[in-house]
Copies of this chain bind each other. A is one copy, B any other.
Amino acid sequence: MTDLFAVLAYGEISAFYRLAEEAKLSPTVRGKVAVAKMAAAEMEHFKRLEAALSARGADIFEVMAPFVRALDAYHASTDPSTWLESMVKFYVGDGIAADFYREIAGVLSPDVAEVVRDVLAETGHSEFVVDEVRRAVAASRSERDRLTLWGRRLLGEAITQAQYVMAQRDELTELVLAATGDLNGIATLFERMQASHAERMSVLGL
């Protein structure tokens, strides 16, 4: 499961730096603190993955290297220009990760599943985001329309980069195939992820 841990580990690092970067858009110290706490939680996850990889004799920097490009590309193509776009991105990203875990959990060995569950569990910081976004979109129709498109773009880019990663890494492709049965299964997996993305958007009032 080196590839799985490695992609998650680089995901935590890049999420950490994105959160720290995007928090600059926060209009309040309160917002900055909330985001810094989310970022610190990502690093706790990273340390868990680092320990799991090192217990398997893998060098984390070496095994993360193949995933740098796709994850950096995802973040570069979804660079928020407002604080609300950042908030939606945190929330949607967390949700997609949690969905992905639920999809593959059944085919993981118990020790691997435990690590993955710990690091992909929803971070519990979502309430902060939900409140901020719901209030803003209730007050402005144009904000709502803009964030709705933004949410769609986030999912689209995530799927694009996930496909790119899977095309390159056999271990991950086999994992997803094992979880879904076959190529049809992968198509329905993407449909399920789209459905639960739509539910999350509606929680945000979008």
User: Do A68 and B29 form a contact, CB below 8 Å, given A17-B23, A20-B17?
Assistant: yes
Question: How many copies of this chain?
Answer: 2
Determine which of B33, B44, B61 lies in contact with A13 in the assembled complex, contact meaning CB atoms within 8 Å.
B33
A30 within 8 A of B: yes
Residue of B at shortest CB range from A33?
A: B13
With an 8 A cutoff between CB atoms, is A37 at the interface? yes
Q: Give complex CA distance A171, B39 in Å.
A: 33
CB of B37 within 8 A of CB of A47, answer: yes
Asked whether, in the complex, the Cβ of B29 is within 8 Å of the Cβ of A13, the reply is: yes
Count how many chain A residues have C-beta atoms less than 8 Å from C-beta atoms of the other chain: 23
Q: Which residues from chain B contact A46 at a C-beta distance below 8 Å? A: 33, 36
Residue in B closest to A44 when the chains form the complex, CB atoms: B40
Kindly report which residue of chain B lies nearest to residue A68, judged by CB atoms.
Answer: B29
A16 touches B36 (CB 8 A): yes
Binary interface profile of A, 54-91, with partner B (CB < 8 Å = 1, else 0)?
A: 00000001001100100000000000000000000000
A125 to B: closest C-beta gap in Å: 12
Point out residues on A near B: beta carbons under 8 Å. 13, 16-17, 20-21, 23-24, 29-30, 32-33, 36-37, 39-40, 43-44, 46-47, 61, 64-65, 68
9 tightest A-B CB contacts, nearest first: A20-B20, A40-B43, A40-B40, A16-B36, A36-B43, A30-B61, A29-B61, A37-B43, A13-B33
